[in-house]
Amino acid sequence: MSNWQPGASKQTLQLRARLLAAIRGFFSERGVLEVETPLLTSHTVTDVNIESFSVDTLSGERFLQTSPEYAMKRLLAAGSGPIYQICKAFRQEGDDAASRQHNPEFTILEWYRPGYTMNELMDETAELMQHLLGEIDIPRFSYRELFMQNLAIDPHVIDSESLQALTRQKIDLTDTQLDDTDYLQLLMNQIVEPSLPQYAFVYDYPKAQAALAEIADDEQGVKVAKRFELYAGGMELANAYQELTDADSQRARFDKDQELRNQRGLKIPQADEKLLAAMDYGLPACSGIALGIDRLLMLAAKETNIGAVISFDHERS
C-alpha cells in the first residue's frame, strides 16, 4: 500500500502554511475579525447545482456545510461587523475531469464587508490576490461583454428558442431537459471560459443566476445579478455577491429552488429558518465572497491537480 503517504510535498505544505499566514495578516491589518462557525449544521443550501453530505446524529439529520455563508450572515445580523473565516467545506461533485480541480472536502476562505458594493469587494479581492501572488493584472469583463465577444449574443435578452438553437449548434448535446440557465452555463464553460486571460473578473450575471445576490439594473437598464466570479488559471477561484438582504425575497428564492429540485427528482432540503429570521431582524447591506484555498495553492505551486496541494485528498483519506 502506497497511498498512506501524503499527496502534497513538504515544500507545498510549507507554502500552504505561509499562504494562510499571509491571508490572516492581510485581514488583521484591515480590522476584519476572524470567526468560526459550525461545520455540522441543521440546514443546508437549496441551490439546485449543489449537493451536500448528510450525517445521521443522535439529534437527527445534520449536514456538512457547503460553505459558512448562512452562519456568517447570522453573525452579521447580530452586529459582528466585517468578518472572515478559513474553514473546511464539503460538496459532492461529478465526473473525473472535475476531480482534478475539486476535492469533496476542501478549504475555503469566506469574508463579508458591511457597506461594501460589489465593485469595492472586487477591488479588495484584487488587492488580496496581489498580496499573495505578487503583481498580477486582473482585467474585468461583464457577462454580457464576454458573450458578445465570443458568441455575438446578449445573454440577458436572448429568447429561449434562439439560445437553445445556438447552444446545440456550438455544443453536441443529448440532454433535452435543459433550461435557459443550463444553456448559458454550457456556453460559458465550453466557449467563453477558454477565451479568458490567466486572471479575470466576470461580473453582472443573468438574474436567473442570482443565487443569494441582489438583482439591480445595469448600465443599460437591464436587471442583472450583482455578483462576480474570479477566474484564474482556467479555474473558477472565487464567487462573490452584493448580498440580498430582504428575507421575503430570500424565502421566495428558496421556494423556487425547492420547486426546481422537485422537478428534477432531487432531494429537497428545508429552508433555513434561522437565516431567514436573521435577515428579517436586519442583515446589513454588504458584499461577501468565497475563495477556494486549495485552488489558490494550485496557482501558487504551479500544480494542475488538486491532490498535489492537499495532504490527504479524497482517495488518500
Question: Phi/psi at 150 (nearest 5 deg)?
Answer: -95, -25
Question: How confident is the model over 35-54, as a mean pLDDT?
Answer: 95
pLDDT at residue number 174: 81
Question: H or E stretch including 252?
Answer: helix 247-263
Coil/strand/helix, residue 4? coil
3 state DSSP class of 170: helix
Give the mean model confidence (pLDDT) for residues 129-156: 97
Q: What's the grid cell of residue 307?
A: 491532490
- Residue 175: pLDDT above 90? no
- Residue in this structure with the C-alpha cell 453536441, named with its chain if needed: 172
Percentage of the chain beyond pLDDT 70 is 98
The three-state secondary structure class of 314 is: coil
According to the model, what pLDDT value does residue 85 have?
A: 98
Q: What is residue 98's predicted lDDT score, i.e. its pLDDT?
A: 47
Q: How far is CA 310 from CA 90, 100, 105, in A?
A: 14, 12, 10
pLDDT of residue 94: 58
Indicate the pLDDT class of residue 284, thresholds 50, 70 and 90.
very high
Give the single-character DSSP code of 269: P
| CA–CA separation, 301 and 105 (whole Å) | 20
Percent of the chain past pLDDT 90, that is, above it, reads 91
Note the maximum CA span of the chain: 61
Amino acid, res. 273: E
For the stretch 178-233, pLDDT in tens is 899 999 999 999 999 999 999 999 999 999 999 999 999 999 999 999 999 999 99
CB 86 within 8 A of CB 107: yes
pLDDT per residue as tens digits for the range 61-94: 999 999 999 999 999 999 999 999 999 999 987 5
Cβ atoms 209, 181 nearer than 8 A: yes
pLDDT at 96: 41
DSSP-based three-state secondary structure for 52: coil
Instruction: Report, in this order, helix, strand and coil percent for the chain, each rounded to 5.
Output: 40, 25, 35
Q: Output phi, psi for 157, to 5 deg.
A: -125, -10
**Domains within the chain, CATH numbers bracketed:** 10-139+197-308 (3.30.930.10)
CB 240 within 8 A of CB 116: no
**Arithmetic mean of pLDDT, 272-288:** 98
Q: Read off the pLDDT of residues 252-270 as tens digits, 9 standing for 90 and up.
A: 999 999 999 999 899 999 9
Mean pLDDT of 22-50: 96
Q: What is the predicted pLDDT for the residue at 11? A: 98
